[in-house]
Structure 1
Amino acid sequence: MDHGNHSEQLDRLAGLLATVSRDVAGTIRRASVCLLDIEPDGARAVLAEVAERVVIHRRIDELVPLALVRQQPVASDLRLVLSALRMNTELHRMDVLAAHIAKLVLARHPAPVVPPPVRPLIGAMAETTARIADKAALVLVTRDRLDAIQLGLDDDELDVQYERLFTVLTDAWPYGVQAAIDVAMLGRYYERFADHAVAVARRVAYLVGGDMARGVL
């Protein structure tokens, strides 16, 4: 196989992953705005974004075997192509979670999903999650191992917010069972979204150092 074509395929694969990661970060921000501002049109737009990106996720999956077709690939190339499928899966799951938030907005409209007392906490979780997603997208471009490790610390902040949310839900919650379930699910969506973003960063650490930085991320 021509080395120039192979290099071009690797560059395209890395570029697609970085672009998708950046776009997914934007989608979770827009989903959160729709959630807190009760914007059904925006929620439908989020669902459309996610649906359109399915084609890109599929294209990444198709590029991986093409990038592997090379005699005597170097170790860094192998790490990239073997990590690409996993990162693409994590990014797709992030898309699905953003879609869940948008669907919840539409299911409860015109009523708000989030009762007033927990709006600040859900807003803080949304912001922390978006920040983690932004950093994961940046790490995919810079491949900075230290930045990848930093995401684990950001995720700890979200875990604390998640625990605080459940404290609120179990402390004389006056809004009924359905609202409690909705808020609990929202917390879970943000927590899982951030976990997937951190997993992407762990893969970047693997690309750079050849290991998954176990115990650090």
Structure 2
Amino acid sequence: MHSYFIKTMGLFWVLAEMVILIFIRQGIAFVEGKKEKFLGLIILSSFIFILLFLTSFWGESFFSGYLDFSRKINLYFYRYALWNLFCTLWVVLEGSIMFYSLHAYIILKKLMNPDRIPSKPSGTMNPWTRYGVPLLVVSAAAFYFFYEYRIFSIMDRFGLEKNNLKNIYLFYIKICGMFWFLIEGTVAVIGLKTYHLLKKSSP
């Protein structure tokens, strides 16, 4: 029961961040005068969420055909890898929200600049967001799979005790936590700057 509750909370967090990301994209499109519905993003997010949901609650039954879960160390490896996947997704989603929040702030700043109001808002994405989001996604995915592959190789070749495996995975979570705090701090700064911009421009 305790494990199901934690997985449910983890999935809820992923879902909430996906919804926020979609709304930010739609908000940017609205300000730029576009009528995009981002159906592709919604379908991709739904697919990832459903896949994560199935992996969380039925993954052990599925992967038991590939990993010998009668060996407890393999079961621990799978469960820790699942939580590392959650942490990686949280960082990717939060990072994407950060980059698009930055783009939204840049657009608002241009629109509310009395000395330079463009007659037609530019739909060009700023370089930080244009390159930052795909680079974040690719880097996070590559690091996750490389980390899991190396752990599995070491475990298969030398064998690991449960405490050794736990410490290795806690190190990964600490890395994700460091990036998460950095991203959250940046989003907070962007939010404050946006608030002061709107307050300054309000009558």
| TM-score normalized with structure 1 length | 0.37
Q: Which has the larger radius of gyration?
A: 2
| TM-score normalized with structure 2 length | 0.39
